[in-house]
Amino acid sequence: MDGEPKSGLIGTIRGELEPRKLLPGFTAGTVAGIIQISVCLSFAAMVFSGNLSPSLSICLSAMLAGGVILNIFAAARSSAPGISAAPQDGPAAVSAVLAASIAAAAAAEAGSRGTAVTVLAAVAASTVLTGVFFWAFGVLRVGGLVRFIPYPVIGGFLAGTGWLLFQGSVKVMADVPLDPAHAAGLFNPGTLLKWGPGIGFGFLIFIGKRLSSHYLVLPAMLAAAGAAFYAVVYATGHSAAEAEEAGYLLAGLPSGVLFDPLALSDFGLIDWKAVLFETGNLATLVIVSLVQFLLYISGLEISIKRDLDLDRELRAAGTANIAAGALGSVAGYPWPSTSILAHRMGAKSRLVGIFSAAVFAFCLFSGVPVLQYFPKMLLGGILAYLGLAFLAEWVVEAAFRLPRSDYSIVLLILAVIGSIGFLEGVAVGLVGAVALFVVKYSRIRVIKIALSGSDYRSNRDRAPRHMKILKEKGGGISILKLQGFIFFGTADGLLKEIRNRASHAAAQALRYAVLDFRQVTGLDSSALLSFAKLRQFAEAQDIRIVFAGLRHDFEAQLVKTGFEWKDEGLFHAFPDLDRAMEWCEERILVEAEATFTSDRASLEEFLKDYIPSSDLLGRLKLYFEKENLEAGRTLIIQGQNSRELYYVESGMVTVVLDIPGGKRIRLRTMGAGTVVGETGLYMGSPRTASVITDAPSVVFKLTQDSLRKMETEAPEVAAAFHHFLVRHLAERLIQANQTMQALVE
């Protein structure tokens, strides 16, 4: 991506004044400028229509001056070459609404000049405000936040913009608003003749652009339509002057230089109260500009196959709009169509914007008398085409690509904009999108996985008889792994789930509800009401609610709701699901009178379920070495090639994994009656984890040398031992499969 031009605009131009860039840049820039000017004429006529049309020249002057400034900044500061910019249709459509509102309110109090300069001041304020917001977003590097506007709201904005453009096209041509109050007048033969052909021309442009994307389609159709218009005028025995007097041509344009900035005396005519009264429309224009800017930049990136720096584009467009707004121009930013055209013509040069600006400047300062002969129906046709393009994309095509709920938001915004106003449409659209989001998000299950204590265990290995108890009694533990953002829409579903599990418990009553918050991203204050109801339900049903993986802020919120962490209370919190499940399992074993905490499981008692022969058991024990170990003793070291198996007769050991950064993760905790290290005994490979005693322990060790000696001296004993280990490992595998099956169901 090009860096910021360090030598300024002059240095940029000098660096690109070479034949391979000059000719394509001149051609593409000139064509882009002509296209942009023809559309800007339409925008100016739309903003200063009706009672404002006699003052059209000051709006057109501001618009052309804005085109000069916007193109120069696009050439000098855009993050990619070949970009051209000009006033845009979205801001122009909202500016037309703003202008009509001011003109309607000020018509009885001010002369035409005062009303015109007040409207221009409001347009200027909106453009400067847009520039300030663009620049601030770019400097703060938060331009990406615009991408979070809901997609159907964007669609509704653009559909509403299309309708305003289509409305504006009729007003430009007929000087009569397109609304129910003026419907009868619009269909008078004389009035219909003014706007009907223009609407038809807009449809022709729309069809022509669909059939071909060539950059000459629009200029060719404008030339053909202009020739057809004058052919009809002269064929019917009329002149251009008569056509202008009848309202078919632009009026209010000076015969000389078009540049007509406001004089100091004009500032005294501005009704600043009327401008301030339009604050809502000003804010709407900023929103529309941000949305459209994002869409245009995203589309431009795809078309030219180049990433643009969004924050840099915002800064460039922001500075340009502040300068253009000072002259009264409608807000603008890069045009995708002309920029894409330049790239397709091979004009990947900053000269494109320079030459586009030159075309605007030439038209502004030369006066180009041909502009006053521009038929209104051509301007109206361009606006109608732009409006139809938006409406086709977001009303017709969107019906096939958007879900019904999203599409209904688009239609709702369009209906409100068309019947009430743009600001109201924006507000209704945002409210509707938020409501739709709440409804859709509420349908997402906050419970990712629901398990039972019979299927899912902690990482603590226990003696077979304890495992049997947990298998029988584990149904009293309900494990709910939660996900996403919990708010009132999803928290109520969690409460219902726990109530259903408590009321539909088959063999065992629900005793423990374990809520795993590890994948919860947020807990809204609105959800706390459901948790307060959960607390009351737990107290009434004597159910222990066990929280796992709570963040500190979540825990603080729950404490404020009435949850108290007491050893003998109903509510408990643990750092992770493993610890929470271990606590629940210990409680179940205590309730089953299994004194596991001080239990002792001799080697003979453990092996008798696998090796029923007392003779074989006695001989097998001879090959084990008994060790009495203090707490903190390391039996197996991660990474070393130890080749021993340990049977834990009493005490407790933990398998831990050391990871980079000095962190240590508990994999399993093993109490009396468990075996650890069997893989190293057989494979002799480096240990993948360490084993450390958590308490004073008694263990029996079997080394690889002792196993080989057993295989040589007492093969029948070795066979019994191998049979034991196979069954032991198979039981572990079955338990792992049951857990996996429960997780995927």
Q: Which amino acid makes up residue 615? A: D
Q: Per the structure block, which two tokens stand in for 460? A: 């603590």
Highest mean pLDDT among 67-71, 91-95, 440-444, 532-536: 67-71
Name 489's Cβ contacts closer than 8 Å, sequence gap at least 6.
438, 439, 441, 442
Give the CA angle between residues 154, 159, 164 to the nearest 5°. 125
Query: 3-class secondary structure for 169-236?
Result: HHHHHHCCCCCHHHHHHHCCHHHHHHHHHHHHHHHHHHHHHHHCCCCCHHHHHHHHHHHHHHHHHHHC
Distance CA 478, CA 179 (A): 62
pLDDT of 41 above 50:
yes
Lowest-pLDDT choice from 179-183, 379-383, 490-494, 674-678: 179-183
Q: What is the pLDDT of residue 546?
A: 93
pLDDT score of 470 more than 60? yes
Please give the average per-residue pLDDT across 520-524, as a whole number: 86
Q: Contact 535/568 with Cβ under 8 angstroms?
A: no
Determine contact, residues 196/248, Cβ cutoff 8 Å. no
State which H helix or E strand residue 284 sits in: helix 279-304
Residue 154 banded pLDDT, cuts 50, 70, 90: confident
Q: How confident is residue 247, by pLDDT bands cut at 50, 70 and 90?
A: confident
The answer to whether 379 and 45 are in contact (CB under 8 A) is yes
Residue pointed to by tokens 């022509």: 208
Q: Is residue 433 predicted with pLDDT exceeding 50? A: yes
Mean pLDDT of 126-133: 94
Averaged confidence pLDDT in the chain: 82
Closest CA to 39 of 3, 93, 115: 93
Q: How many other CB atoms are there within 10 angstroms of residue 590's CB atom?
A: 12
- Based on DSSP, count helices (H) and strands (E) in the chain, helices before strands: 30, 16
Domains defined for the chain, CATH in brackets: 10-400 (no CATH), 447-591 (3.30.750.24), 603-744 (2.60.120.10)
pLDDT tens digits for 690-707?
Answer: 999 988 999 999 998 999
